[in-house]
Amino acid sequence: MTQVTAQSLRQLKQADIKFSCVTAYDASFARCIAAAGVETMLVGDSLGMVLQGHRDTLPVTIEHMAYHVQCVSRANTSSLVMGDMPFMSYATTEQALQNAACLMRAGAQMVKLEGGAWLSESIYKLTERGIPVCAHLGLTPQSVNTLGGFKVQGRNEADARRIVDDAHEVEAAGAGLLVLECIPSALGGQISKQLAIPVIGIGAGPDTDAQVLVLHDLLGLNPHPPRFVKNFMAGQGSIEDAITAFSEAVKNGQFPTPEHGFKA
């Protein structure tokens, strides 16, 4: 497989071909994910919960993220590796530039930031200086304390409008990808249709351009999986087979089904 880039993902969108993304935190799993042909790997700050046992992602630092990006990128063969910018590491544009550079030096090929219009200047400057950006809207877990919990977003008209406007703003600022988390399925489909950049959904319905799941969730290791998760390990003989099953189900439209999504 040739190296996946933001540009090749955009070509997939133009050709109406869906792609997949799985979170990766270490070299062994990164090897499995790459071997399964998954186009993008996200070194997510979900590692704060999945690996470190915290109740949210807030304790994760840029040093933690850089360490895990290094582990993953050493084993990656051809997937696009995205590094998550942790809580308060991009509160100002200066911090965003400095901390994104740290993840890129560690081996990331793109960085992900949670937020909308307020991030426009940072997204513009990062892309201008050679750092591709994935934006993240909807349920943004680093804002769990202002959102009042891990709740579905965009359920009323005003909130949905704000997410749509933010999506256009981050695209106009230069974002190359957008993650939409926990929003009504119809809203996920609407935003994906309106944007030229690929939209990766998680709990955002079947009509986004791609799907991402947390690795441990798709392997059935979460004792309290959210509604949008499916256990792909069931009936499989190996971890690589389970990841391949996820990737194929996304590509052929078998995952997610309506029962994995949310209504307005």
Q: Give contact residues for ligand KIV (rule: CB under 6 A).
A: 23, 42, 44-46, 84, 179, 181, 202, 212, 214
Q: How far is CA 199 from the centre of its chain?
A: 9
Pick the catalytic residue from 114, 169, 171, 181.
Answer: 181
**Annotated catalytic residue 181:** yes
In the block, tokens 């052929």 appear at 252
Nearer to ligand KIV, 12 or 51 (CB): 51
Q: Which residues contact 173 (CB under 8 A, 6 or more apart)?
A: 119, 120, 121, 123, 124, 127
Omega within 30 of 0 (cis) for the link into 141:
no
Residue 126 · residue 111 · CB < 8 Å:
yes
Nearer to ligand KIV, 45 or 209 (CB): 45
Nearer to ligand KIV, 72 or 179 (CB): 179
Instruction: Give residue number: closest CB to ligand KIV.
Output: 44
Supply the minimum distance, in Å, between the C-beta of residue 21 and ligand KIV: 8
Supply the minimum distance, in Å, between the C-beta of residue 49 and ligand KIV: 9
Supply the minimum distance, in Å, between the C-beta of residue 200 and ligand KIV: 7
Q: Which residues contact 252 (CB under 8 A, 6 or more apart)?
A: none
Residues marked active site are found at 181
